[in-house]
Amino acid sequence: MSRHGYQFQYAMINLPDAPGPIGIFDSGYGGLTILHGIRRLLPQYDYLYLGDNARAPYGARSFDVVYEFTRQAVVKLFGMGCHLVILGCNTASAKALRTIQQNDLPRLDPERRVLGIIRPTAEVIGNLTATRHVGVLATEGTIKSDSYALEIHKLYPDIRVSGVACPFWVPLVEYNEADSPGADYFVKKRIDQLMALDGQIDAVILGCTHYPLLMPKIRKYVPEGVRIVAQGDYVATSLRDYLGRHADIERLCTRGGGVRYLTTENPGRFREAASVFLHERVDVENVALGGM
């Protein structure tokens, strides 16, 4: 029984031993920005991207639901040959990563790994702020979890962290309205709210993988001299360093330079959205998770 109240029959799961792709999971499309950053730095590996688009967004869902959905995705990716899975979703990293690492991996397969995307950003933020005042713009779930503040304070106890939830930013991106005049109102409102909390903020973390697609608007309204910290490049660098330190895991990652895309939603809808995030057409397959 997990701390979330779920009980699983791990012995029934048959996981392949052969090397396989690096798995990247997101509740929707935002993780494509993480995949893009990783592929630019580490193009030699194979990747398997899974978006749980049918049940997105995760931002306002409970810890229990996010954990269960994320666990299902991790098991699916393990079953498709991944020995390493990146949760390219801030909400999943905030609400499910620790339980999966501590409770599920020892029973599923102690040799497999699941990593999140909050820690890599927390590790570098100390070098990106002079005032030691940092802001976080993220989904409601990530802000309520306080995950960024917790991770940052483990490494930099002196940094003050303030956060604001941006509930309309994800729909703006997914409905291809990021460049519309209407987006200005919602972007400016949340940035102004954050800066009103702490006028000494000199670095703002974009704590949702969708938000880089709003970058022109964000730059427009963030005060001059305030650094905007997107996650993609930092996650990619962290992954490169991780693979360099863990040769046992790196050997189990195939090197073909390919990407395979999976979605729990209609593949056509995913293809349309992927063109916004990646500026290219991709082939997509439909998969089911859990009881779907």
As to burial, measured by CB atoms within 10 angstroms (0-12 exposed, 13-18 middle, 19+ buried), residue 44 is exposed
Q: In what order do the strands lie in the sheet with 160-165?
A: 160-165, 133-138, 203-206, 227-229
Residues composing the chain: 292
Q: Based on DSSP, count helices (H) and strands (E) in the chain, helices before strands.
A: 14, 10
Active-site annotation, residues: 89, 208
Q: In what order do the strands lie in the sheet with 259-263?
A: 113-115, 84-87, 22-26, 47-51, 259-263, 284-286
How far is Cα 51 from Cα 266, in angstroms, rounded to an integer?
11
Q: What are phi and psi of 102, to 5 degrees?
A: -85, -35
How far is Cα 143 from Cα 146, in angstroms, rounded to an integer?
5
